Structure 1
Amino acid sequence: MTTHLYILTGASRGMGLAMAEQLLQPGNTLLCISRHANADLALSAQKAAVPLSQWTHDLADGEGASERLRDWLLAQNPADFVSVSLINNAGVIPPIKPLRQSQAADLAMALRVGLEAPMALSAAFVGATQAWPMPRKVLNISSGLGRFPMASQAGYCAAKAGMDHFTRCLALDEAPLPNGARVCSLAPGVIDTDMQVQLRGAAGEAFPDQAKFLQLKAQGQLSSPAQAAEQVLRFLARPDFGREPVADVRG
């Protein structure tokens, strides 16, 4: 039986978990890569009779994760799949403070998880599946903060800006190939996740934009993880996915 293969990082909570739950549909196979497995997700997959694998891997080790993914893909039979998609969703927000007060280890972690790992996983994915004849897609979950600067957010903003730009480069690499992967770095809108809790709870003197995030919550302008996941997956399924390498789910 041929299926649609989805590889998803950061699937244990937030929008990543919501995407994983929504992908548990007949005809899909799901591989999740996160620091922790999610027992409820495993139970849902069992009930839905959808093949699910959960790799517990810290994406601060992007090299190890990408090598494992490359080896796994090379061991698969392409005839088992009608499409294959990599969704780089995992990311971390470093402590919210001006760069002058930031710790090198915190900045390194944000860049390893938010930029280095997606680059390495994308490289492994497109390399290992280059000869596969079916549609291949890379969806990188970016942010408006990769396109607009914000005080006390240098590490996160830099990771997302780098994600946008490496996606542009990857699109150029893949465009001339007979079955080049279609790629997009997508901003998913403003979502009520743990990151929003961190932003709202930041010290006002260290984070000048705190009031904006408090207002978004108070005025009900945040999408739920499930709503955002639905929009993102709908975007991934569009026939023109990859036409623009950098996009926003809000159009």
Structure 2
Amino acid sequence: MTQHLFILTGASRGMGLAMARKLLQPHHSILCISRKANDTLAAQAKLAGVALQQWTQDLASAADISARLEQWLREQASAGFASVTLINNAGMIPRIGPLSEADADDLNQALRVGLEAPMQLTSAFLRATGSWTGKRKVLNISSGLGRKAMASQATYCAAKAGMDHFTRCVALEEALKPNGAAVCSLAPGVIDTDMQTQLRGADASAFPDQHNFVSLKEKGLLTSPEEAAARVLAYLAKPDFGSQPVADVRD
């Protein structure tokens, strides 16, 4: 039992892609789930001799992808992985503005991707791997905005706050099991990704904190996706991972 299996959502760009690249190591098998495949990542995996699968799926269809994942994991049970890890990284910010002006479809999409999909995938993962003897981990990528309110960010804040709290509940449940999974909802810090570009480019009249995000960029206070990925994966590798169900990589 020397192989380690990683399942990662939102792996085609940003910190998700950086994490996927860093996971291309000997004895690793990786399943990435994103709306688009990344050809460069596939080429890098082939060069490194690492087993990589990329499923292209809109995570707004959470029930479909979770059912597929559960079936696939049940088929891998005989492989005897030393560990299996689910990293719920995918998320999205809907159109930025007050909730009173939110588009219903936009709001629905953001909550499905940001909260329902992680819950559905975690449920399927825990159920399918419940009898596995290797170490099981669930890492949910949260945000400081799940713990701090911000005007014109109600949907994103709600999704991340929900992620934090469902993780707390799952941690209590898994602690009662003989080989319960270690789970953690981790805020990765402020990262220079497309999401930050979206926040900086928002209409300042509809987003009171827009200038703060512009200032973060101008002052060089944003972490690169590669650095953030390294810090997150280092946290995941800690022997006491899961001892705090809700954490911040900066602590």
Q: In the TM superposition, what are the counterparts of 1:96-111 in structure 2 within 5 Å? A: 96-111=96-111
Q: Shift in Å at residue 2 of structure 1?
A: 3.5
Matched-pair contact (CA < 8 Å) for 1:30–1:53: yes
2:12 equivalent in structure 1: 12
Q: How many angstroms does 1:78 deviate by?
A: 4.2
Give the match for residue 188 of structure 2: 188
2:23 partner amino acid: L
Q: How far is 1:221 from its partner?
A: 0.4
The count of corresponding residues between Structure 1 and Structure 2 is 251
User: Contact 1:142–1:187 (CA<8 Å) still a contact in 2?
Assistant: yes
Between the aligned partners of 1:39 and 1:211, the Cα distance in structure 2 is: 36
d(CA) in 1 for partners of 2:48 and 2:213? Answer: 37
> Which amino acid is the alignment partner of residue 171 of structure 1?
A
1:206-245 → structure 2 map (5 Å cutoff): 206-245=206-245
Aligned equivalents of 1:29, 1:2: Cα separation in 2: 11
> Alignment partner of 2:76: what SS?
coil
| 226-235 or 71-80, larger mean C-alpha shift | 71-80
Give unpaired runs (5+ residues) of structure 2: none
Does residue 138 of structure 1 match 2:138? yes
1:12 is displaced (CA, Å) by 0.2
SS in 1 for 2:82: strand
Task: Note if contact 1:78-1:132 (Cα within 8 Å) is conserved in structure 2.
Answer: no
> Could you tell me how far apart the structure 1 residues matched to 2:141 and 2:72 are?
23
Matches of 2:72 and 2:250 in 1, distance apart? Answer: 35
Aligned to 1:94: 94
**Could you list the per-position Cα deviations for residues 27-85 of structure 1 after superposition, in whole angstroms to 9, with x for gaps in the alignment?**
11000000000000000000000000000011000100100000000111344311000
Structure 1 residue aligned with 2:42: 42
Rounded to whole Å, the distance in 2 between the matches of 1:14 and 1:213 is 17
The alpha carbon displacement at 1:141 in A equals: 0.2
| Alignment pair present for 1:152 and 2:155 | no
The amino acid across from 2:131 in the alignment is A
CA RMSD of aligned residues (A): 0.8
- 3-state SS of 1:241 partner: coil
Return 5+ residue gaps in structure 1 as ranges: none
Q: Which amino acid in 2 is paired with 1:182?
A: A
Residue 82 of structure 2 corresponds to: 82
Partner of 2:197: 197
| 1:71-101 deviation line (CA, Å, top 9, x unaligned) | 0001113443110000000001000011111
2:28 corresponds in structure 1 to 28
Q: Distance in 1 between matches of 2:156 and 2:104?
A: 13
TM-score (norm 2): 0.99
Q: Distance in 1 between matches of 2:78 and 2:163?
A: 28
Runs of 4+ that moved beyond 4 A: none
1:164 aligns with 2:168: no
Confirm or deny: 8 A CA contact 2:77 2:129 kept in the other structure: no
**TM-score calculated relative to the size of structure 1:** 0.99
Mean CA deviation greater in 228-237 or 77-86: 77-86
| Percent identity for Structure 1 against Structure 2 | 67
Provide the residue aligned with 1:64 in structure 2.
64
Task: Output the amino acid matched with 1:236.
Answer: L
Mapped to 2, the partners of 1:228 and 1:127 lie a distance apart of 30
